[in-house]
Amino acid sequence: MSKTQYEQLIPRFLKYIKVNTQSDEGSNQVPSSPNQVAFLKDLAQELKAIGLSNVRTMSDGYLFADLPATSDQADLPTIGFIAHVDTADFNGENIQAQIVENYDGQSVIDLGDSGYQLDPAVFPSLKKYAGDTLITTDGTTLLGADDKAGVAEIITAADYLIRHPEIKHGPLRFAFGPDEEIGKGANHFDTEAFGADFAYTVDGGPLGELEWETFNAAAAHVQIQGQNVHPGTAKGAMVNALQLAVDFQLALPVHDRPEKTEGREGFWHLIKLNGTPDEAQMDYIIRDHDRQKFENRKDTLIKLADQFNESLGQDRVKVSLHDQYYNMGEILKNDLAPVELAKEAMTDLGITPIIEPVRGGTDGSKITFLGLPTPNLFAGGENMHGRYEYVAEEVMAAATDVIIKIASLATSEK
Pairing mode of beta strands 172-177, 79-84: parallel
Q: What's the CA gap between 4 and 380, in Å, rounded?
A: 13
86 tagged catalytic? yes
Task: Say what angle helices 145-163 and 9-17 make with each other, to 10 degrees.
Answer: 140
Q: What's the CA gap between 7 and 315, in Å, rounded?
A: 63
Q: What's the CA gap between 391 and 34, in Å, rounded?
A: 27
Q: Check 86, 159, 389, 401 and give the catalytic one.
A: 86
The alpha carbon of 264 is separated from its chain's Cα centroid by a whole number of angstroms, namely: 18
Q: Check 24, 138, 146, 180 and give the catalytic one.
A: 180
Note whether 259 and 238 are within 8 A (CB). no
DSSP state of 152: H
Radius of gyration of the chain (CA): 23
| Distance (Å) of CA 241 to CA 124, 245, 279, 281, 356 | 42, 6, 5, 9, 41
180 tagged catalytic? yes
- Label residue 371 exposed, middle or buried (CB < 10 Å: 0-12, 13-18, 19+): exposed
- Label residue 390 exposed, middle or buried (CB < 10 Å: 0-12, 13-18, 19+): buried
Task: Say what angle helices 393-409 and 145-163 make with each other, to 10 degrees.
Answer: 50
Q: What angle do CA 287, 288, 292 make, to 5 degrees?
A: 125
Contacts of 384 (CB under 8 A, 6+ apart): 88, 142, 145, 146, 205
Residues assigned a catalytic role: 86, 180
